[in-house]
Amino acid sequence: MAVARVRGTSANALIVEPLAGEIDRVRSDKDFTDRARKLLERDKELLDRLDRRPVTRKRWTSRVGAPPSPE
């Protein structure tokens, strides 16, 4: 905070500037973007597999409480 104040800028701007530079750097790094793509694909596959699991009574209650009772 003190550095931002002395520079006459916000703490957010002080943080965003180096992040923007790092994002530009890794976008141009083919090895990095390939690894990131592979990791994201793997994460998506895992999430898709979890989404296909049948919802059991135990999983239902742990997520939203007791299931509605039949009338």
Q: What is the pLDDT of residues 27-71, one digit of tens each?
A: 999 999 999 999 999 999 999 888 887 766 666 566 666 656 665
Neighbours of 12 (CB within 10 A): 9
Global confidence as pTM: 0.52
CA atoms within 13 A on the CB side of 43: 6
DSSP designation for 60: H
CA distance 63 to 61: 5
Residue 61's CB is within 10 A of a number of other CB atoms, namely 11
The tokens for 2 are 């003190």
